């Protein structure tokens, strides 16, 4: 398999409604070949779903004819024109981009992913913030080695803690480790809002937000409070986790959050002695999901003991072992994430206008009058 072979197969794919093919039109942005798997990225001029569907079918057909086993197709297309140009609500306007890191299930590696993506983005020169929105089980302070650091309070606002060049705030830093609050929904809503308004964030290029597991009040409140630029779903290869990952991706859709990609964590095992990689849970299953939701696999991160020890000791692998295979994958996925953020911004699709509640403050989730445009459920919050 090589680039020319793939390109000549793609030149048999005619753009629907025209006589020219997608290569001649210059719609093929990128071809990546990995053995008999091929990733194709195209940018088209039509926002119609039928055009996308036809192209996917034709590309699959032509590539299977030349022996490609797995085809991954990413289609970029213009946003469907909106009724409003408003970006909706933003209670943290100093921040340029917000990335929500989510999963349907606990313990799959959201916090680990958030930390390492934040570090990789910082290493590439971005000004990065990290918000630990997991109020039930805040782990970010420990993962960044600042679990005993208390933030400085200036007037009635709080300065984020600096670690590895990242600005970070967490309930763990405000309360102390090991303490626990019994959270009511209304308290979670208020806390998430205060994390955005009462913390003196700098003019950040990007705020990475580590979410609690699942699809509840924290996710909805965040999406209603700031226009989230991109969602990242973390999953593990096991089927159960994948069902949960689908819930997380569906939540992004319902909240009108553009999906930047999937991180498949605990994907294979790298033996520390030999550096050899073993497939334990079955890796690569996230790819089907990525195809289904027209998004990328941002990374396949193996199980590696130094990821866990790095987390437990506050020494993230991407910073402390930047030449390790895992660090390289995190760095590559951060590059891809940034490219996606730029693309999403260029398409102008970021807005939380559609999910604003129309009732007064105090309830972020009105079932009677929120003007959610989600189609398939009666609960207008659209996230349960
Ligand atoms: N790829 C990996 N290899 C080895 N250990 C890992 C890997 N990813 C995560 N871990 C470890 O697994 C545990 C759970 O990870 P993490 O806390 O990031 O998950 P989470 O999804 O944020 O969990 P929660 O839902 O509880 O917030 C941590 O101890 C972490 O160090
Ligand atoms: Mg976590």
User: Is residue 237 in a domain?
Assistant: yes
CB under 8 Å to 25, separation ≥6 — which residues? 15, 18
367 has a pLDDT exceeding 80: no
| CB of 266 sitting under 6 A from ligand 1 | yes
| CB of 232 sitting under 6 A from ligand 1 | no
By most ligand atoms within 8 Å of CB, the mutation choice from 104, 106, 109, 309 for ligand 1 is 109
**pLDDT band for position 363 (cuts 50, 70, 90):** very low
| CB of 311 sitting under 6 A from ligand 1 | yes
Of the CA atoms within 13 Å of residue 73, those in its CB half-sphere come to 25
Range picked from 22-31, 49-58, 73-82, 124-133 for highest mean pLDDT: 124-133
| CB of 316 sitting under 6 A from ligand 1 | no
Query: How many angstroms from the chain centroid is the CA of residue 347?
Result: 17
Cβ atoms of 329 and 297 within 8 Å: the answer is no
Quote the pLDDT of residue 87: 61
**How far apart are the CA of 358 and the centre of ligand 2, in A?**
31
Bridging pattern class, strands 277-278 and 166-170: unpaired
Residue finishing a domain among 27, 46, 76: 76
Kind and range of the H or E run holding 234: strand 230-235
249 has a pLDDT exceeding 60: yes
d(CA 131, CA 100): 10
Residues 128 and 274 in one domain: yes
Q: Average pLDDT in the 229-244 region?
A: 88
Residues 109 and 56 in one domain: no
Q: Lowest-confidence range among 33-42, 79-88, 164-173, 196-205?
A: 79-88
The residues that bridge with 270 in the sheet, in sequence order, are 277
Residues 71 and 104 in one domain: no
270 has a pLDDT exceeding 70: yes
**How far apart are the CA of 111 and the centre of ligand 2, in A?**
4
User: Is residue 244 in a domain?
Assistant: yes
Quote the pLDDT of residue 382: 38
Query: 3-state DSSP: the chain helix, strand, coil percent, rounded to 5?
Result: 35, 20, 45
Query: Which of helix, strand or coil describes residue 118?
Result: helix
User: Is residue 157 in a domain?
Assistant: yes
Quote the pLDDT of residue 180: 60
d(CA 167, CA 325): 26
Cβ atoms of 192 and 222 within 8 Å: the answer is yes
Look at ligand 1, atom 5, and give the residue with the nearest C-alpha: 308
10 Å Cβ neighbour count for 63?
Answer: 23
287 has a pLDDT exceeding 50: yes
CB under 8 Å to 75, separation ≥6 — which residues? 42, 43, 44, 52, 55, 56, 294
**How far apart are the CA of 101 and the centre of ligand 1, in A?**
13
Look at ligand 1, atom 15, and give the residue with the nearest C-alpha: 109
Residues 36 and 108 in one domain: no
| CB of 112 sitting under 6 A from ligand 1 | yes
Atom of ligand 1 nearest to the CA of 326: 1
347 has a pLDDT exceeding 50: yes
Residue among 4, 113, 115, 13 at smallest CA distance from 58: 13
User: Is residue 372 in a domain?
Assistant: no
By most ligand atoms within 8 Å of CB, the mutation choice from 101, 102, 103, 107 for ligand 1 is 107
User: Is residue 382 in a domain?
Assistant: no
Quote the pLDDT of residue 68: 93
Residues 150 and 296 in one domain: yes
Cβ atoms of 332 and 314 within 8 Å: the answer is no
Residue finishing a domain among 20, 44, 76: 76
| CB of 307 sitting under 6 A from ligand 1 | yes
pLDDT tens figures, 303-318: 999 999 999 999 999 9
Quote the pLDDT of residue 238: 83
CATH number assigned to the domain comprising residue 206: 3.40.50.300
Quote the pLDDT of residue 113: 98
Residues 204 and 127 in one domain: yes
Residues 301 and 174 in one domain: yes
Q: Lowest-confidence range among 224-228, 268-272, 341-345?
A: 268-272
User: Comparing 377 with 218, which gets the higher pLDDT?
Assistant: 218
18 has a pLDDT exceeding 80: yes
Structural domain boundaries enclosing 14: 3-76
Residues 214 and 346 in one domain: yes
User: Is residue 379 in a domain?
Assistant: no
Residues 71 and 115 in one domain: no
Look at ligand 1, atom 28, and give the residue with the nearest C-alpha: 308
Atom of ligand 1 nearest to the CA of 113: 18
CB under 8 Å to 145, separation ≥6 — which residues? 163, 313, 314, 315
| CB of 132 sitting under 6 A from ligand 1 | no
User: Comparing 339 with 136, which gets the higher pLDDT?
Assistant: 339
3 has a pLDDT exceeding 60: yes
**pLDDT band for position 359 (cuts 50, 70, 90):** low
| CB of 236 sitting under 6 A from ligand 1 | no
**pLDDT band for position 370 (cuts 50, 70, 90):** very low
Residue among 331, 265, 340 at smallest CA distance from 295: 340
- What is the domain count for the chain? 2
CATH number assigned to the domain comprising residue 45: 3.30.300.130
| CB of 309 sitting under 6 A from ligand 1 | no
Quote the pLDDT of residue 38: 93
Quote the pLDDT of residue 368: 36
Q: Lowest-confidence range among 35-39, 107-111, 120-124, 225-229?
A: 35-39
Residues 249 and 297 in one domain: yes
What are phi and psi for residue 126, nearest 5 degrees?
Answer: -85, 150
Q: Average pLDDT in the 324-335 region?
A: 96
Residues 154 and 206 in one domain: yes
User: Is residue 360 in a domain?
Assistant: no
pLDDT tens figures, 69-109: 999 999 988 766 544 434 678 999 999 999 999 998 899 99
What are phi and psi for residue 95, nearest 5 degrees?
Answer: -90, 130
pTM over the 0.85 mark? no
User: Is residue 326 in a domain?
Assistant: yes
**How far apart are the CA of 107 and the centre of ligand 1, in A?**
5
Look at ligand 1, atom 3, and give the residue with the nearest C-alpha: 303
From residue 272, give the alpha-carbon distance in Å to each of 2, 279, 304, 318, 327: 33, 15, 7, 16, 14
**How far apart are the CA of 45 and the centre of ligand 1, in A?**
40
Residues 135 and 72 in one domain: no
Bin 90: left if φ > 0, else alpha if -120 < ψ < 50, else beta: beta
Residue finishing a domain among 76, 108, 127: 76
**How far apart are the CA of 172 and the centre of ligand 2, in A?**
12
């Amino acid at each position: 398999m090589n680039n020319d072979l793939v390109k000549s197969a793609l030149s048999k794919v005619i753009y629907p409604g025209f006589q020219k093919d997608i290569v001649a039109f210059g719609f093929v942005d990128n071809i990546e070949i990995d053995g008999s798997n091929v990733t194709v990225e195209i940018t088209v001029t039509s926002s119609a779903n039928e055009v996308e569907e036809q192209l996917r079918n034709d590309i699959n057909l032509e590539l299977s004819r030349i022996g490609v086993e797995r085809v991954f197709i990413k289609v970029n297309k213009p946003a469907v024109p909106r009724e409003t140009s408003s970006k909706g609500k933003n209670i943290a306007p100093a921040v340029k981009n917000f990335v929500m890191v989510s999963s349907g299930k606990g313990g799959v590696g959201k916090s680990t992913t958030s930390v390492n993506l934040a570090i990789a983005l910082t290493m590439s020169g971005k000004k990065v913030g990290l918000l630990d929105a997991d109020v039930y089980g805040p782990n970010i302070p420990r993962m960044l080695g600042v679990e005993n650091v208390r933030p400085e309070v200036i007037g009635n606002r709080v300065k984020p803690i600096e670690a590895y060049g990242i600005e970070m705030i967490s309930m763990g830093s405000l309360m102390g480790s090991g303490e626990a609050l019994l959270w009511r929904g209304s308290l979670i809503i208020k806390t998430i809002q205060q994390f955005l308004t009462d913390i003196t964030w700098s003019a950040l290029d990007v705020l990475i937000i580590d979410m609690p597991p699942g699809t509840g009040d924290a996710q909805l409140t965040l999406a209603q409070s700031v226009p989230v630029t991109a969602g990242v779903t973390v999953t593990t290869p096991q089927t159960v986790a994948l069902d949960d990952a689908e819930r997380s991706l569906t939540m992004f859709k319902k909240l009108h959050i553009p999906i930047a990609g999937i991180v498949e964590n605990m994907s294979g095992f790298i033996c520390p002695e030999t550096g050899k990689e073993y497939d334990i849970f079955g890796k690569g299953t996230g790819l089907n999901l990525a195809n289904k939701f027209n998004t990328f696999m941002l990374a396949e991160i193996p199980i590696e003991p130094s990821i866990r020890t790095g987390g437990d000791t506050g020494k993230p692998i991407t910073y402390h072992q930047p030449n390790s295979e895992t660090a390289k994958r995190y760095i590559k996925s951060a590059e891809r994430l940034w490219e996606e953020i730029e693309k999403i911004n260029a398409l102008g699709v970021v807005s939380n206008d559609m999910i604003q509640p129309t009732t007064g403050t105090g309830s972020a989730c009105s079932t009677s009058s929120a003007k959610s445009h989600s189609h398939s459920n009666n609960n207008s919050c659209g996230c349960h």
